[in-house]
């Protein structure tokens, strides 16, 4: 249940991350969460909060860079995020390390489910409202500004939504694999869509299918669901290549 909700959110948020050429940022962001998880484990709070705070700080950084420079911030992102992965690896207590890296769906509590349901709904509602501005900003920043779309504000809201979804997904897919759950459904949906509405729908659907398929497969084989979710998403992506519009 929690897994499919996360797939839903990840698919939808991911659709815009792919369009904004933020695929790598998404991947790297999930690594930033690791020191946050480590600290929450050390002081014994729900790792979601630690992860979210770490992501929030990282996102402030990205937003600031995007606003101040025209550069795609990839290099800095690469350096900064690998550093935080290293830091997280050192800080995380050994027994919890595997769990933090790859997720542990059996540890999901009812509270987690409630938080997930709430935040995924908020994310979807907010993202629907800002989707037009976000899309226009992707096509042309100037065009968007000329019709008075507050593009920096919208980008900031969007990044916060990304942080929500990534932080939520950590328990299911883990820091190493959450990035791909955000990116792959969207990449697959791009193959099969002509319009934005089709694209968002497909991406969301693929996200849910990856999560459910992956969790069922994991249960069947008695393994952790993180890798099987990502593999399911990968299979969907490969299948969509056959339906790609010219």
Partner 1 sequence: MDSNAILTVKNLNVSFDGDHILRDLDFSVSKGDVLAIVGPNGAGKSVLFRTLLGLIPYSGEIEWIKDLKISYVPQKFSIDRELPLSTEEFLKFKKKSMADIVNVLKSVGIGSEHKNDSDHYMKHVKQHVLNQRLGWLSGGQLQRVLIAWALLDDPDVLLFDEPTAGIDVGGEETIYNLLKKLHGERNLTMLLISHDLNIVYKYANNVLCINKEMICYGVPATVLDPTSLAKLYGGEAGFYQHDHHGSR
Q: Write out the residues near partner 1 by the rule CB under 8 A.
A: 19, 132, 135-136, 138-140, 142-143, 145-147, 189-190, 193-199, 245
Contact 176/102 with Cβ under 8 angstroms?
yes
What DSSP character marks residue 19?
Answer: H
Contact 218/174 with Cβ under 8 angstroms?
no
Name the minimum Å distance from CB 5 to partner 1.
24
Contact 212/3 with Cβ under 8 angstroms?
yes
219 vs 244 by CB, closer to partner 1:
244
Name the minimum Å distance from CB 208 to partner 1.
19
79 vs 138 by CB, closer to partner 1:
138
Contact 102/177 with Cβ under 8 angstroms?
yes
83 vs 143 by CB, closer to partner 1:
143
Name the minimum Å distance from CB 23 to partner 1.
13
181-to-27, 42, 200 alpha-carbon distances in Å: 9, 27, 15
What DSSP character marks residue 161?
Answer: H
Name the minimum Å distance from CB 158 to partner 1.
16
As a whole number of angstroms, the distance between CA 78 and CA 182 comes to 18
43 vs 194 by CB, closer to partner 1:
194
Name the minimum Å distance from CB 135 to partner 1.
6
148 vs 222 by CB, closer to partner 1:
148
Structure tokens at 7: 């797939």
């Amino acid at each position: 249940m929690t897994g499919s909700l996360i797939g839903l959110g990840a698919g939808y948020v991911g659709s815009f991350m792919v369009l904004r050429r933020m695929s790598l940022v998404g991947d790297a962001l999930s690594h930033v969460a690791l020191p946050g998880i480590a600290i929450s484990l050390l002081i014994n709070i729900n790792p979601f909060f630690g992860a979210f705070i770490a992501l929030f700080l990282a996102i402030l950084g990205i937003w600031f860079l995007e606003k101040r420079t025209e550069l795609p911030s990839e290099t800095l992102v690469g350096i900064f995020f690998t550093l935080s992965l290293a830091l997280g690896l050192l800080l995380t207590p050994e027994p919890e390390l595997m769990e933090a890296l790859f997720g542990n769906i059996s540890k999901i509590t009812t509270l987690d489910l409630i938080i997930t349901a709430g935040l995924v709904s908020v994310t979807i509602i907010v993202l629907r409202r800002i989707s037009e501005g976000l899309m226009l900003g992707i096509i042309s920043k100037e065009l968007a500004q000329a019709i008075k779309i507050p593009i920096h504000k919208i980008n900031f809201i969007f990044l916060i939504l990304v942080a929500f979804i990534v932080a939520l997904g950590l328990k299911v897919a883990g820091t190493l694999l959450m990035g791909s759950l955000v990116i792959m459904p969207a990449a697959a949906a791009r193959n099969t869509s002509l319009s934005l509405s089709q694209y968002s729908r497909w991406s969301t659907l693929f996200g849910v299918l990856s999560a459910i398929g992956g969790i069922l497969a994991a249960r069947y084989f008695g393994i952790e669901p993180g890798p099987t979710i990502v593999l399911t998403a990968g299979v969907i992506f490969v299948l969509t290549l056959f339906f790609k519009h010219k």
